Every structure is written in structure tokens, then in C-alpha cells.
Structure 1
């Protein structure tokens, strides 16, 4: 399989069976050799050092860094994310000098062991721990460290991963670029996946919101069911306002609305947000069926526009997961906000949900 989904599955399978994979961090334009820390062997370490910069790190969740008393090596503000994440170096006490491939493999495996304690390690040492972000590749500023931990976790291993930059063969003083990484992966039979592909995979396979509340909302337009959702990573809260039976077999008319304080609450004439929302509510009342997904992203601007394409992709996934949770598998997107509907179209389809053509099930605002 050469699709992004297939590439992620191959990487997970490799890490799950104790083999290495290549992770490409497009933001840095370089690739990393990664493998599960609890699968560390002298052979894997030797292969890693031979083909990489030799600056081998083990990425650990923050809880393990605290449990093992691994303080950061730098507390200064303004440092890069990578530098700020580095922890004090260690060696496992049951090793010799700590520098050989065998010793480093034992130290790495011990760091990944849930039963080891801070007293099992000498400081300083030859293995460099780094703290991975709490939300893995779905967090902000995610990179290879988060990808290494995620691959190990998805492979049902301890959530700890080894990573090291792959060196260019054409320019030994630099890192391998994308074509070299593809060639390297082919020569050694290693799966290759990007951080972005892994993030997309997680967003498609792991619920991105949790249901937090449900109530009946009495309004001048009638009583609606309101279901609240929370994004556990961003802390954002979203609403699904429903008229009729959300689980019915018939296509559910759907209006997707981005929060706009000026338009929705104060009736600003500077944008059409308030008018679009009012028409959607009126349409639900008239037809007795329909749904408004009211999105409240932290990065939305005053007129309900998004601040970036990445945020748009994340909200598309949010919409798809809300629909799945409500048992709505066929929708008709409203045509009073066509650009937003088209933006969400791809994500909805990717989740196996069906989108019918935007028929005139909603009155057009204006």
C-alpha cells in the first residue's frame, strides 16, 4: 500500500515488531531513524550510529521524565522546543562505561521500563532523554520525538521511542533530504512516514472530541436538542444543535457555523455570520429537522474566519467526529455558506460519511 494510511500502518507494524522506521519531519526538512525504546538492542544501536549523526535520543512522556527524576538541561526562556525538551543524560547503573552500543541499548531499554526508578541511573551519562509533548503528533510544535512515542504506543509497546537524524551520503556534513531518505528506506527495507501523515492518521482513527453535556434548548423558534463537545487538547468547546431525530436514516440537513461574536450576538452588518445562523435556525424550525454544528475554535477571528489552513483541517475532523458520535452518516450541507461546507466535505467523506449534493433544503441567506 502506497497511500498515506498504508505508510503509517507499515511504520506501526515495523515498530511493533522491534524494527526501525524512518520519520520525516517536513518542518525541518530532515528524516529520523526511529524505533521502540523497549526493543533497543546492540544491533539496532550499531545500525543507527552507522547511518545517522550519532546523536541518539530517547523520547519519553513527561510523566516518565518526572518519575525518573530527569530534569531539563536548560531552563532559559526563548530556547527552541528541541533544546528545551532535553533532559539530563544518564547511564543505567548495571552497565560498564555506558558508551558502547550494548551499554546504551541497556540504558535505553531501562528508561523505557515502567519498573525502573531514578536510583537505577547514573548522572551524567551517555544516553540523552528528551520529553515528548503531551499530545504526541497532535500537539503544537510536534516533531520526530512525538512521532517516535506515538509509533511505539500505536504498536502496543511502551510509549518511548529512540530517534536520530539520518546523515546525507552526498554531503556528510548535512542531513539527508527527502530523495535520499526514500532511497535509504528502499535499500534497507524500512517504512517511511511523515509526522503530518501520522497526525492525520491519528485524527482519523482516534476521537477528537468528547461528549460533555446534553440538554433541551427552548427558543422562539422551538425546542432544540443541544449536545456539547470538548476538545481535550485545545480545550475548545463546540455545540451540535439538533431538530428532529439525529439518528434517522434520511439525510440530515447540516449547517456548519464558526462562532462570530459580532455577528451572532450583536448583529454586526460587517459580515453575514449572524444572518446565516438565523436562516439556519429558521430552516430547522420550518422543516422540523436539521442540525447546526457551532464551532468555537480558539483561533477564529471576529468574523468567524479561521487563521490558518491547519486549523481548518482540524475543525473538519471535529465535525466528522461529532457526526459519528451522533450516529449521523448521511448529510446535506447547507448552501448558504458554500466555502465552509466544501472545506468540510473531504474530512466527512474520509470518515466514511456520505454527503449529498447541497439541495435547497436551507433558505439562502440574503
Structure 2
């Protein structure tokens, strides 16, 4: 992930948190640019602005599991899962507090109802003037669509994972693109970000404020006298649990990290450096105790992701090492790279993890 990509995502999330719109580029239709507004910040002014400068077709992306809770099934005729085609549900209006439902005031109210945590299916009427979109539950890494990217961006901003999206158009009715799009963003002081920016950010940082992985055990588990510790980490991106067997980590010394996998499905697509089928950590206790370093065991899930497995694995490695406070590491089994390479884990200036490509 580049510094520029991270900066664009951070600035865009800050704009959403402040109630300002952003522009999202890419997804299943790379030639389009979408206005994105956080659902919980929907007010008549921002909705009227979105209607004025877009097609006026307002969508409300949310995770599929939330759509299920609100009884918003997908309409028939959508593309296959993971294709990036939006999974539209039937349009809705708020059941109370609106007029005809079409005005900016009414649509803003409906969107806030969709974003409110306590909303129930009977708080909505069908059909209506706001069109929900069912986004993949695992977000932009599972499906590279604008809906997923918008929902993930809301989560990164610390907001409810419901957004407003609409396609930008020119006064002549054409899609807003190229220099016209850049001029529009400058004129209206709107941050721009791409779906690929979001995907790269989530691979390394996840969508929560605590980073991609969180430590499951409050204290390390000692597995032998004077031996190393076994620490489990929950992966916010994939839902898997990764384990780190850690020996002594001497300050100022670059530790060796041996990457293994607990699932052959991971190892088959990650390169020759990884060992597959590794569920028994006993064989690693002695070497780690004697020589220090870390044995990191990655685990897969049964879920499908649009992102390459090697990319997911690299992000998981960096996230776990960052949690362990490792700034620089010698990695044996770097996915899709040489069997042994040295990587920079921490950005010393910001204290946040970033990826340096392993040398060929």
C-alpha cells in the first residue's frame, strides 16, 4: 500500500465523519464516479446537493446481513455473487415522518431511518424512493464494488455502515469523468478516493479503529516452562483466527518470522515458501525457545474473496507483526515472494503498518 493511497482513504473517511460528501471512483463500472455520503449524516441539504449533481437515483448500500434484518431481499435478475453488479432491493420510504417520499427532506429522513441501529422492518414501507443495495458482508475485499467500498469507508470513519450513493453527471446529462470530474471536485472541495484505494487500505488496516487484527487472549498462554507464548489474533477482514508462537524478542534486533499455514487451501496459492497443514505447534517450541523469533500460523476461511489469497496473507502478516510491536522482520515464507526476505513492518513516522514489496 502506498502512502498516497492511505492518505486518500484517511481524508475521505474524515470527510464522511464530518458530514461531508466524497467521490468514489471505480467498482463494477470503472468509468463512473459516485457521490458517497454517510447515511447517519443524511440531511436535506446534502441530499439536495447529491440530487442536483447526480442522476438523482439515490441508493443506500448496506451489508447484506443488515438488509436481511430489515427484510430487504435482493430483486431477481442481479448478477452472480462477487461479480460487482449491485444487488438492488425494492425501494423503501420511512413509514413515519414524511410526505410523498420524493423530496430531499423525505429521502434524507428515510436514509437516516435505514442507518439507525434500532430500525425494524415495519419502520419502512415498500415500494419507495430510496433503493437499498445489498453489499457483501466482508466488504470490498469480497466484492470490488462501489457499494462495498462505500460501506467500508463508513465503517473506517466510525459511522454506521449505511451510505448514500449516486452517480455524478454533467449538466448535459453525461457521466462526469476526467478533467470535468477533477474540476468538479476542486470547485466543491470534495475528496476523491478509488475502490482500489479502499481495498488496499482494508487489506492492511481492516475497517475498525483497532486495525485489521485484534488479540483474542488478554494474556499470552505459556505452553512450557521458560518457553514461548502462543497468542491468537482475530482477523477482522476474513474472520479467521491466526496464531503467533513468540520467543524472546530482543530490542533492536531483527527477528526471524516463519510463516506457516493451517489449511492446505491457503498454501496452494501462496508460493513455495509456506508450509501447509500446520496445526501442531509442538515442533516449533524448541527452536523458538532456543533462538527467539516468531512462528506465525495463518488460517483461511471458507468464504470467497475477490482479493488474491497472497495479498490477504501479506496483509495479515504485517497486521500481526505490527500488533506484536515488530518494526522490521526477516520473514521465511513471504507469500508470492522469495523464501526469505526482510520487510519493514512499521512506518516509524506514523506508527502505522505499511507494506514494502519483498525484493525479487
> Which TM class, normalised by the smaller chain length?
0.7 to 0.9
Does the alignment pair 1:240 with 2:241? no
Query: Structure 2 vs 1, CA of residues 31 and 283 (structure 1 numbering), >3 Å: closer, same or farther?
Result: farther
Q: Which of the residues 209, 213, 222 maps onto 1:209? A: 213
Offset at 1:354? 11
Number of aligned positions between the proteins:
329
User: Cα offset for 1:35?
Assistant: 0.5
- Cα 1:54–1:340 shift into 2, 3 Å: farther
Which residue pairs with 2:323 in the alignment? 325
Higher CA-based Rg: 1
Please give the alpha-carbon distance, in whole angstroms, between the structure 2 residues aligned to 1:55 and 1:258. Answer: 46
Q: Does 1:199 find its partner at 2:199? A: yes
Structure 1 position 155 matched with structure 2 position 157: yes
The corresponding residue for 1:132 is 135
Are the structure 2 counterparts of residues 156 and 228 from structure 1 closer, same or farther at C-alpha, using a change threshold of 3 Å?
closer
Match of 2:145 in 1: 143
Structure with the larger helix share:
1
Q: CA deviation at 1:176?
A: 3.4
CA contact (8 A) 1:73 1:84 kept: no
Scaled by the length of structure 1, the TM-score of the pair is 0.72
Secondary structure at the counterpart of residue 338 of structure 2: helix
Deviation at 1:160, TM superposition (A): 1.6
Asked if the contact 1:41–1:105 (Cα under 8 Å) also holds between the matched residues in 2, the reply is yes
Give the superposition deviation at 1:328.
3.0
* Cα distance in 2, alignment partners of residues 185 and 284 from structure 1: 56
Do the aligned partners of residues 57 and 247 (structure 1) sit closer, same or farther apart at CA in structure 2, a change above 3 Å counting?
Answer: farther
> Is structure 2 residue 110 aligned with structure 1 residue 107?
yes
Q: Would the alpha carbon gap of residues 312 and 182 (structure 1) be closer, same or farther in structure 2, given more than 3 Å must change?
A: farther
Instruction: Describe the shift of the 1:339–1:66 C-alpha distance in structure 2 as closer, same or farther (beyond 3 A).
Output: same
- Secondary structure (helix, strand or coil) at the match of 1:97 reads coil
Whether the 8 Å contact between 2:346 and 2:354 is mirrored in structure 1 is yes
Q: Which structure 1 residue ranges, 5 or more long, are not aligned?
A: 265-270, 300-306, 359-366
Q: What is the aligned partner in structure 2 of residue 288 from structure 1?
A: 291
Distance of 1:148 and 1:308 partners within structure 2: 17
- Say if 1:17 and 1:256 are closer, same or farther in 2 by CA, change over 3 A: same
Distance 1:226 1:178, change over 3 A: farther
Compared with structure 1, are the counterparts of its residues 194 and 115 closer, same or farther at alpha carbon in structure 2 (3 Å cutoff)?
same
Corresponding residue for residue 186 of structure 2: 186
User: Would the alpha carbon gap of residues 136 and 71 (structure 1) be closer, same or farther in structure 2, given more than 3 Å must change?
Assistant: same
| 2:76 aligned counterpart, secondary structure | coil
Match of 1:41 in 2: 43
SS of residue matched to 1:254: strand
Unmatched runs of 5 consecutive residues or more in structure 2? none
CA–CA separation in structure 2 for the residues paired with 1:336 and 1:120: 50
Determine the structure 2 residue equivalent to 1:176. Answer: 176
Structure 2 CA distance for partners of 1:49 and 1:286, relative to 1, 3 Å: closer
Deviation at 1:339, TM superposition (A): 1.7
